[in-house]
Amino acid sequence: MSIEPPPTPEAREATRRDTVLRIALPIAVLALGVLAWDMAVRLTDTPAYKIPSPGAVFTTLRDDWPILASSLLVTLTTTFEALGLAVIGGVSFAILFSQSRLVEYSLYPYAVILQVTPVIAIAPVLLIYLEPSVAVLACAWIVAFFPVLANTTLGLNSVDRNLVDLFALYGASRGQILLYLRLPAALPAMLTGVRIAGGLSLIGAVVAEIAAGSAGAGSGLAFRIAESGYRLMIPRMFAALLLLSLAGIAIFFLLSLLSHAVLHRWHESALSPER
């Protein structure tokens, strides 16, 4: 067994420089964008009910924090519940599909139908038959389910056939092949699907909350955005949008960190360049 040499000082320095650039450049672009936004509002003397200044948005975020925070908690609760159900359902059906082609051919088209049907069209129908909170959760789950299912199914079906034949040659059962070969090999694709589903579950929750709010129900952050728009409370609307964006970024980085923690010791996609 060969032992890889340790990374050189030049390689470590290049990695540190790359990390600094990856963090500093987006922050610099954000700062320039906020500065340009503030200068444009001041120079054109635009009223706050059209485009608020960054200062007005952050002041509103501070003053209305109790309301916005409670609404954010409702939206995040729905998002993570939908993501959890999508992971459980997507992985379970993908395993079932990998074990039976007949089941895959019978059910996979209906998963595609769920994916291609706009959730904004499904939400009003679900609100007729379900409680508003359940309907919102169902919409978020519908959006998040397919990426987990599709990526996990692809990962399970992409295992090297020679390895499958080798396992069978040594007398491994279908369950052992699934547990010790297919699932580990499918893990990168599965985690990619989960990372995609994290953002989509938030989108589904937002769309469903807006639909539920228009019917007089719902207290999530999307409902606050719609309410602020109706009342011309534009600084609050921008503050709520900012919280939603930060929530989406946090979910993406959290799931990316989970993927890196699981894969960084053994999978090529997560190995650092210096290795």
pLDDT tens by residue, the chain, 275 residues: 344 556 677 667 777 888 888 888 989 998 999 999 989 888 888 888 888 989 889 999 999 999 899 899 999 999 999 999 999 999 999 999 988 889 999 999 999 998 888 888 888 888 888 888 898 999 999 999 999 999 999 999 888 889 888 888 888 888 888 888 899 999 999 999 999 999 999 999 998 888 877 544 457 888 888 888 888 889 999 999 999 999 999 999 999 999 888 887 766 555 554 44
- Cα–Cα distance list, 16 to 9, 82, 89, 265 (Å): 11, 37, 40, 19
Tokens of 2: 């060969």
Burial classification of residue 126, based on how many CB atoms lie within 10 Å of its CB (0-12 exposed, 13-18 middle, 19 or more buried): buried
